[in-house]
């Protein structure tokens, strides 16, 4: 962990893509998939032992662009709504839920039935599984300490432009288990990812999630922190986000 990244305030967002790749350190070795880029990683320990690990340059540039196009075209995006105060309010993004047949999931009263994995999502699941097992020591997976990390589902988000967003939340639903590990791929426009502590109001962080990157949330982060991708004031193109999860 370099000191440069130990604190990153909401006001001074770290441009992680530039910072990490220019340092040319923490190269991940052992990634065996065909289209692997020269992946670098940086670990950001959060107060209260939550952990963020950011991997940049996940795939070769051409392959990342191809993936973006393919997923934009082939994922069955849907405009879901939440029932709030007796009204159906559309969520500010499109989404889709893929997973193994038992992997039903829901949040804020929304129930999601899994679609069957499509080929690019199967490949991506293998990639994030391998990288997670290379980078995260088994000790931080708590009750699954002796088990390799595995993901059986993925929530796909499409932020169509700067007006799309996801509000403050933590991924703490019972079906994710007590200390879930969530592997979150970003493709397309760079967006700001913000964190705020649930009780210590002055503890807030932010980082930029660039195209072709993977953010792994682990430890007890979901107990103590909220996260969000806010709307942006500057025009941005679409962004695809894929959060791989394990439904217990």
Ligand X SMILES: O=C(O)CCC(=O)C(=O)O
The footprint of ligand X (CB under 6 A) covers: 155, 157, 166, 171, 184, 193, 209, 227, 229, 241, 243
Which residue's CB is nearer to ligand X, number 205 or number 227? 227
Distance CA 248, CA 244 (A): 13
Tokens of residue 5, six digits: 């990244």
Closest CA to 149 of 158, 140, 161, 162: 140
Nearest approach, Cβ of 159 to ligand X (angstroms)?
7
Which residue's CB is nearer to ligand X, number 54 or number 136? 54
What are the backbone angles phi and psi of residue 142, rounded to the nearest 5°?
Answer: 55, -115
Which residue's CB is nearer to ligand X, number 211 or number 227? 227
Cα–Cα distances in Å, from 146 out to 140, 149, 150, 222? 10, 9, 12, 21
- Measured from each CB, the residue nearest to ligand X is 241
Nearest approach, Cβ of 96 to ligand X (angstroms)?
11
Nearest approach, Cβ of 234 to ligand X (angstroms)?
17
Closest CA to 211 of 62, 95, 96, 57: 57
Which residue's CB is nearer to ligand X, number 206 or number 209? 209
Which residue's CB is nearer to ligand X, number 155 or number 221? 155
Strand order in the sheet with 94-99: 40-45, 50-56, 213-219, 182-188, 239-245, 153-159, 94-99
Nearest approach, Cβ of 92 to ligand X (angstroms)?
12
Nearest approach, Cβ of 238 to ligand X (angstroms)?
12
């Amino acid at each position: 962990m370099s000191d440069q990244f130990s604190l990153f305030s909401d006001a001074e967002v770290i441009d992680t893509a530039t910072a990490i790749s220019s340092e040319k350190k923490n190269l991940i070795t052992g990634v065996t998939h065909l289209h692997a880029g020269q992946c670098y990683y940086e670990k950001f320990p959060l107060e209260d032992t939550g952990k963020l690990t950011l991997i940049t340059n996940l795939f070769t540039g051409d392959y990342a662009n191809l993936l973006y196009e393919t997923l934009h075209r082939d994922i069955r995006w849907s405009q879901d709504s939440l029932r709030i105060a007796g009204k159906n309010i559309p969520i500010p993004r499109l989404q889709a839920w893929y997973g193994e047949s038992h992997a039903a999931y829901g949040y804020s009263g929304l129930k999601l039935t899994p679609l069957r994995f499509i080929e690019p999502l199967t490949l991506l699941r293998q990639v994030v599984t391998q990288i997670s097992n290379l980078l995260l020591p088994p000790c931080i997976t708590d009750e699954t300490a002796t088990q390799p990390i595995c993901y059986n589902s993925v929530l796909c988000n499409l932020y169509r432009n700067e007006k799309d967003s996801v509000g403050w939340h933590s991924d703490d639903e019972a079906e994710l288990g007590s200390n879930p590990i969530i592997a979150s791929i970003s493709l397309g426009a760079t967006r700001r990812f913000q964190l705020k502590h649930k009780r210590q109001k002055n503890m807030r962080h932010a980082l930029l999630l660039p195209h072709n990157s993977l953010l792994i949330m682990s430890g007890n982060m979901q107990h103590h922190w909220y996260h969000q991708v806010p709307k942006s004031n500057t025009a941005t193109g679409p962004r695809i986000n894929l959060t791989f999860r394990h439904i217990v």
